[in-house]
């Protein structure tokens, strides 16, 4: 049983429990980050059981690069995209996204799809978001432009809370195939990704 304080966040029909690494390390549950588990809470006991993966998707594995500054969003996208069909890589800033795209190309794993957020500041402060929105820092628009400069055939879509603003329109104008709002939910978003890559 795990003992200690942690964070419990709910996103739609999914929940993320954040447990301090020291507690996790000393626990009896040696699960990997991002692994799907079933959790039951009975009185003061936390029972965690691994959900076995089943390879239900046929065909070639698709390479997806997610450029988003929020670890929770990165994990949720990985959770909703079936690992049997998608090989997902993460970048937490525009600079890292560009470097990772180049690295994957060099390794013969050019991304079939890049999922791009707009705010890549790593902050939720209004002043930091405004700087990104005004192009003063490396936001999703600038990152998209640089990736397209590297690879004009890059397949990029936006998935962001700012899709309905002029900022979201700029992302589309610069070369993103689509810009989807986070309000569609992760399940619908995953279906859209499947459609794009099928």
CATH class label, 62-197: alpha beta
Residue 37: predicted pLDDT: 60
pLDDT, tens digit, 9 for 90 and up, residues 120-163: 988 888 998 898 888 888 999 999 999 999 999 999 999 999 99
pLDDT-derived band of residue 83, with 50, 70 and 90 as boundaries?
Answer: confident
Residue 4: predicted pLDDT: 44
Q: What is the mean pLDDT of residues 107-119?
A: 95
- Separation between Cα atoms, residue 178 and residue 188, nearest integer Å: 14
- The gap between the terminal CA atoms of the chain, to the nearest Å, is 42
Integer Rg of the chain from CA: 18
Q: Are strands 113-116 and 62-67 parallel, antiparallel or unpaired?
A: parallel
- Separation between Cα atoms, residue 70 and residue 61, nearest integer Å: 25
Locate the domains of the chain by residue range. Answer: 7-50, 62-197
Res. 57: pLDDT tops 60: no
Distance of CA 57 to the CA centre of its chain: 20
State the residue for tokens 């959770």. Answer: 79
Taking all residues of the chain, what is their mean pLDDT, rounded to a whole number? 80
């Amino acid at each position: 049983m795990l003992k200690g304080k942690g964070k419990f966040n709910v996103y739609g029909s999914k929940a993320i429990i954040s447990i301090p690494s020291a507690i996790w390390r000393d626990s009896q549950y040696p699960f990997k980050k991002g692994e799907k588990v079933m959790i039951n809470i009975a009185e003061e006991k936390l029972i965690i059981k691994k959900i076995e993966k089943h390879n239900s998707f046929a065909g070639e594995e698709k390479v997806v690069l997610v450029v988003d500054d929020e670890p929770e969003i990165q994990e949720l996208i990985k959770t909703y995209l079936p690992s049997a069909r998608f090989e997902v890589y993460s970048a937490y800033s525009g600079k890292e996204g560009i470097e990772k795209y180049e690295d994957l190309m060099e390794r013969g794993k050019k991304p079939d799809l890049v999922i791009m957020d707009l705010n890549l500041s790593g902050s939720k402060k209004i002043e930091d978001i405004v700087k990104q929105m005004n192009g003063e820092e490396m936001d999703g628009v600038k990152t998209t432009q640089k990736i397209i400069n590297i690879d004009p055939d890059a397949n990029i879509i936006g998935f962001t809370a700012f899709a309905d603003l002029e900022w979201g329109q700029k992302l589309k104008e610069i070369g993103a195939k689509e810009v989807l709002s986070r309000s569609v939910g992760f399940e619908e978003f995953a279906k859209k990704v499947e459609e794009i890559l099928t």
